[in-house]
Amino acid sequence: METIRACVVVVAAMVAAPAWAERPADFLQRFEAEARGADAAFSASAERGRNWFESRHGRDWSCSTCHTKDPAVSGRHEVTGKSIDPMAPGINAERLRSARQVSKWFRRNCRDVLGRECSAAEKADVVAWLIAAAPSTGDGQ
């Protein structure tokens, strides 16, 4: 009886869990597929993503200026000083969960850092790096 009750609780929790519209891996797949439209041989690389994330692209900032080089730790907005939660979905369960948030922030931050929007290949690499950078909670794969 106790076991059954425990199971019911677990199942209820599992049913309640997918409050998230999307999983981090969905974004990797989506950007990778989009990048293959331009280059059929494209395959996302976390290592390339890491380098790109840490590099400046002709302007004052890199992504790591606000997000730090370590996606597992909190960052700080370069201008306002406000703290920014960690970027790795394995550490911060709210990351890479909403298509609206992801596209809004890529659009804004890429314009600030590169002066243009990012390509699908660049986004695929960054997402691969953020997922690889910290151990996953298990449900993001």
Partner 1 sequence: MKAATALLALSLAAVASAMASGGGQRDDDERGRAAALDPTYVEECGACHVAYPPELLSRDSWTAVVGQLGRHFGVDASLDTALAAEINAYLQAQAGVYATDDSEGQPLLRITETDWFRHAHRPGEDGLYRGVFDSEAVRSPSNCGACHLGAARGRYGEDEIRIP
Residue of the chain from 112, 119, 136, 139 that contacts partner 1 (CB under 8 A): 112
User: Phi/psi of residue 84, each to 5°?
Assistant: -125, 125
Kindly give, in sequence order, each residue whose CB lies less than 8 Å from that of residue 98, ignoring residues fewer than 6 positions away: 20, 21, 22
Contact assessment for residue 97 and residue 24, using Cβ atoms and an 8 Å cutoff: yes
Interface residues for partner 1 in 65-104 (CB under 8 A)? 77, 79-82, 104
Residue of the chain from 32, 71, 91, 106 that contacts ligand HEC (CB under 6 A): 106
Residues 25/30/31/32 CA torsion (nearest 10 deg): 80
By the criterion CB under 8 A, which residues form the site for partner 1? 77, 79-82, 104, 107-109, 111-112
By the criterion CB under 6 A, which residues form the site for ligand HEC? 61, 63, 65-67, 77-80, 84-85, 95-96, 101-102, 105-106, 108-110, 112-113, 126
